[in-house]
Amino acid sequence: MEVPRLDHALNSPTSPCEEVIKNLSLEAIQLCDRDGNKSQDSGIAEMEELPVPHNIKISNITCDSFKISWEMDSKSKDRITHYFIDLNKKENKNSNKFKHKDVPTKLVAKAVPLPMTVRGHWFLSPRTEYTVAVQTASKQVDGDYVVSEWSEIIEFCTADYSKVHLTQLLEKAEVIAGRMLKFSVFYRNQHKEYFDYIREHHGNAMQPSVKDNSGSHGSPISGKLEGIFFSCSTEFNTGKPPQDSPYGRYRFEIAAEKLFNPNTNLYFGDFYCMYTAYHYVILVIAPVGSPGDEFCKQRLPQLNSKDNKFLTCTEEDGVLVYHHAQDVILEVIYTDPVDLSLGTVAEITGHQLMSLSTANAKKDPSCKTCNISVGR
């Protein structure tokens, strides 16, 4: 059974959460830990008759919500008026020991038929591991609570952004995309050793690799989609690719129609920034019917290749013409292998600007331009 969202309840003047908070301080809630240790001053009493939740089930997990249910003995079940839910991010052994720990989230809800929905982007982040435990409680006439022991601790992981969330990101990216500029080639910069390795070990064909964790934390392509990164940005004054790059002094250039044509599909993948004024948009090009196409079709918003704000392929007088957005930096992922014989490899004359690299770059969670209200 679906119950009112907890985030709505918190804003309701007659909500169970607010009613509890009036009589039970946050400190009192925190004094009642998972081990059942309670302060004499906490306003929480203990009564063994209240059933302890067990066999906890987590279901319908999204990037910012989940459903929770459990079993209880029937003894004194009718005395239960509230549930206390202890939700915490799972500790990461590799986390920075100097950073502040995440504040545990103690949720209070009126006892309703199970399963109940827990929803809230301010305490749930996408693709994040959590632990949860539950306690039953009975509110007394004097405002104190009688509580059960804590349940066992259950672990679960929130989901990636859905197509709905990605569409919200897409709409925000469209606002700042700017006018379209003509281009003719996709290009990929790497070190000379990379291209030597491709020739020697991969039969001259660049192979797709798993995308890193740069960009939005909830992006469904990070760590999952296999592809090859390309750029297509051009300099405003020349209409050609810039001579500088953060990824290496050697550049592979390929005619745009070799990768992007009527036999490919185009998808929106992400929108982010790295504490800078400029923003990145990730697009995915996948040959129709390929494994990459099937992956994207299930997870990403598809764009009209002829009419969108970021990257277009149109036909004029029988010739394919290409345009890219001027005011965002496009990162294009092509999901199939690409043979070096389809283009050219040459050394660039500019500098290698390492500061512009987006490898495993983390998104700025405070940016109002590229964030949506379902985590970062």
Spell out the domains of the chain, with CATH numbers in brackets.
52-156 (2.60.40.10), 161-345 (no CATH)
- CA dihedral (13, 18, 20, 23) in degrees, to 10, reads -90
What does the DSSP 8-state code read for residue 153?
Answer: -
In angstroms, the CA 159 to CA 269 distance is 16
Q: Which of 26, 35, 39 is nearest to 107 (CA)?
A: 26
pLDDT tens digits, one per residue of 276-288:
888 999 999 999 9
DSSP assignment of 30-56 equals: HHS-TT----TTSSEEE-TTSPPPEEE
Question: Tens digit of pLDDT for each residue in 96-143?
Answer: 443 344 445 688 889 999 999 998 866 788 999 999 999 999 999 888
Rounded to whole angstroms, the Cα distance separating 37 from 143 reads 20
Q: How far is the first Cα of the chain from the last one, in angstroms, to the nearest whole number?
A: 29
Residue in this structure with the two tokens 């300099």, named with its chain if needed: 235
**Number of CB atoms found within 10 A of residue 210's CB:** 12
pTM for this prediction: 0.79
The enclosing H or E element of 371 equals: none
Alpha-carbon span 108 to 86, nearest angstrom? 9
Pairing of strands 44-46, 145-147: parallel
* pLDDT for the residue numbered 324: 97
Q: Which residue has the higher pLDDT, 302 or 373?
A: 302
| Burial group, residue 316, by CB count within 10 angstroms (0-12, 13-18, 19+) | exposed
pLDDT of residue 67: 96
pLDDT score at 34: 52
Cis (ω within 30 of 0) for the bond into 16?
no
- Quick one: CA dihedral 9, 13, 19, 22, positive or negative? positive
Q: Which residues contact 73 (CB under 8 A, 6 or more apart)?
A: 51, 52
